[in-house]
Amino acid sequence: MVEVARQHPLELILLRQFAARLRTPAALFDRRGRLIYLNPAAEAMFGVDFAGLGELSLEQALSIAQPTDADGAPMNPLSVPVGKALGEGRPEMGTVSIRDTHGRLHRLRTTTIPVQGQGKALFGAMSVFWKLEDLESRKA
């Protein structure tokens, strides 16, 4: 049986092309919260090869990254910025800690914007990540 590739809206295809050229870690999600792309900077930060992973549900992606909030409490799909942005249809910022696949802890600042088309149709979301230690060293 031949597997048919899932077609994504043009807006997400164009954002993928844009994200692929960014040096800043970025991730794209479809409207259901499926992780549909990690750019090379995000792959390096999370310690994964997206081509080897393929698309993941938000729950699967969170099980890999193991995000926690500022108090160290585990975060669920509704509490992470991408879950809030998709659920509420508005940009969301947050601070999270994740573990890469090598076990290293990263404190991140993330901004997620919903990707909406005409008539406010929700196509998905784009998240961008900054390591807090990088941000703090720039202030010094």
The residue segments making up the domain with residue 101 are 10-139
* Per-residue confidence band for 3, with pLDDT thresholds at 50, 70 and 90: very low
38 vs 120, more confident: 38
Q: How many domains does the chain have?
A: 1
* 1 within a domain of the structure (yes/no): no
pLDDT of residue 77: 93
Tens-place pLDDT, residues 10-61: 999 999 999 999 999 999 999 999 999 999 999 999 999 999 989 999 999 9
User: Does pLDDT of 134 surpass 80?
Assistant: no
* 2 within a domain of the structure (yes/no): no
* 134 within a domain of the structure (yes/no): yes
* 3 within a domain of the structure (yes/no): no
Angle at 97 between CA 94 and CA 103, to 5 degrees: 155
* 35 within a domain of the structure (yes/no): yes
* 4 within a domain of the structure (yes/no): no
CATH number for the domain including 92?
3.30.450.20
Closest CA to 42 of 108, 94, 134: 108
